[in-house]
Structure formats: structure tokens, C-alpha cells
């Protein structure tokens, strides 16, 4: 059994106790994912306001910013996004598989921030497209909808790869008991929420299942 290097709990929101989240991450290897959409920020539970995004970047030690919609499409040009690159450990760009600018992504290491490339098609998993060590790959067929995947592609041992798609307290242990890659992380979003708000108790339960000693 190879345990994930960390778990990304995606969806910090306006009701999240950031200090409780910080304390939980001191006890377990956690990355906190924060969704950003210019049109949804502060309007929907999963999309916090820009002010909370900036506060979370200061309070939480390990974070990733997930760019959605216009923010993902215009991430080369938007000044706000360029500023945010420097405040987060990783930035995830959520686009369709054929919409990524491979040349730009391969040069992203100069920003000194890891970039996460998401794909929803296991047959198009981009093992060889991105040669920069600052590019991490995420297989996410669910897209935040909590739909469990029936297959998970493997990756070369040296590359960090992420897996998402319907993980919950009911199935996460089964996955980590036989993961498809040696160097990986898990991303969770829908099944760690209650009434669509992030539930830190559910996050803690997942950590206990994955990292506790048998």
C-alpha cells in the first residue's frame, strides 16, 4: 500500500474556519484547494470572495488555487491571476483537454509555482506533453460532481499525478490500498461537503482512514 503524498480538499468557502483548517493540516498532509471564478466569486458556496481567497492564502500553509471559467481561459493575461500565482503553492487550470497551451505551460516554471493540468479522458492522459518538473497532472473525470471513476490511468514513477472523482469515506481506503501510481495525491470536493459547504469533520475522517496506522 502506497499512501498519497497529500490529500487536496477542494472548496474552502465563506463558512470555513481557516484556523481549524490550519490545525488539521498540521496533523495530516493536506493541501487546501480554493476555487476561483470571476463570475461566481462570493456568489456560490464553493466560490469564495476574492478577499477570502487572499486571507486563506496567508493563513493556510499549503494551498492550491483552482482557476475556473474565464480565469482559466485568460490566465495568461489577467493581472489578478499573475499576482495570485506568487501566493499559492500550486495553481490548477481547469480547461478542456485540447484547450491547454502546451508551450506556455512548459515555461511556467519561471513563475516558481507548480501548475496542475486537469484531464477528464483517461485515453488522453498527457504523460509526455509537459516536460517541466513544475507541471503536475490530475485525472479528474468527475469535474467536481462527485461521480466515481471506473478506471484510473497510471503514470511514470517520477511524475507526481493526482486522482479525483467520487472519492468518499466509503471508497477512499480501497483506492489507497491499490493505487495506480507510486507518486500521487488525491483530490476531493463534493463528498467532503454538507449542504454544499465544506465540512472539516468529513475531511478529518478521510485523513483518519487514509493515514492512520493499521
The domain limits of the chain are 7-211
Checking 76-84 for CB contacts under 8 A at 24+ apart, the result is: 76/101, 76/104, 80/50, 84/36, 84/53, 84/57
54: which 3 cell numbers? 487572499
Lowest mean pLDDT among 21-30, 141-150, 155-164: 141-150
Lowest mean pLDDT among 18-27, 65-74, 145-154: 145-154
Question: What is the structure's pLDDT at 214?
Answer: 57
Lowest mean pLDDT among 60-69, 96-105, 177-186: 96-105
Once rounded to an integer, what is the mean pLDDT over residues 137-164? 76
> Could you tell me which of 184, 139, 133 has the C-alpha nearest to residue 166?
139
Higher pLDDT, 135 or 209: 209
Higher pLDDT, 36 or 79: 36
List all residues 6 or more positions away from 46 whose beta carbon is below 8 Å from its beta carbon. Answer: 11, 13, 35, 40, 144, 189, 196
Higher pLDDT, 15 or 134: 15
When computed from its CA atoms, the radius of gyration of the chain, rounded to whole angstroms, is 16
Buried b (16+ CB within 10 A) or exposed e, 152-179: bbebeeebbbbbbbbbbeeebeebbeeb
SS3 194: strand
Per CATH, which fold does 7-211 belong to?
A: TIM Barrel (3.20.20)
Give the whole-number percent of the chain exceeding pLDDT 70.
75
Amino acid at each position: 500500500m502506497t499512501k498519497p503524498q497529500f490529500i487536496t480538499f477542494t472548496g474552502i468557502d465563506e463558512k470555513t474556519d481557516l484556523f481549524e483548517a490550519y490545525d488539521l493540516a498540521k496533523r495530516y498532509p493536506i493541501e487546501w484547494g480554493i476555487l476561483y471564478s470571476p463570475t461566481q466569486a462570493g456568489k456560490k458556496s464553493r466560490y469564495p470572495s476574492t478577499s477570502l481567497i487572499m486571507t486563506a492564502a496567508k493563513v493556510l500553509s499549503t494551498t492550491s488555487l483552482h482557476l475556473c471559467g474565464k480565469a482559466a481561459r485568460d490566465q495568461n493575461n489577467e493581472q489578478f491571476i499573475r499576482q495570485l500565482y506568487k501566493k499559492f503553492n500550486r495553481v490548477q487550470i481547469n480547461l478542456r483537454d485540447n484547450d491547454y497551451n502546451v508551450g506556455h505551460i512548459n515555461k511556467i516554471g519561471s513563475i516558481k509555482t507548480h501548475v496542475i493540468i486537469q484531464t477528464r479522458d483517461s485515453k488522453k492522459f498527457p504523460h509526455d506533453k509537459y516536460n517541466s518538473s513544475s507541471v503536475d497532472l490530475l485525472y479528474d473525470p468527475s469535474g467536481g460532481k462527485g461521480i466515481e471513476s471506473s478506471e484510473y490511468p497510471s503514470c511514470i514513477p517520477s511524475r507526481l499525478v493526482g486522482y479525483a472523482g467520487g472519492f468518499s469515506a466509503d471508497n477512499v481506503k480501497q483506492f489507497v490500498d491499490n493505487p495506480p501510481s507510486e507518486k500521487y495525491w488525491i483530490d476531493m470536493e463534493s463528498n467532503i461537503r454538507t449542504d454544499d459547504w465544506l465540512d472539516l469533520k468529513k475531511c478529518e475522517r478521510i485523513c483518519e482512514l487514509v493515514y492512520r496506522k493499521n
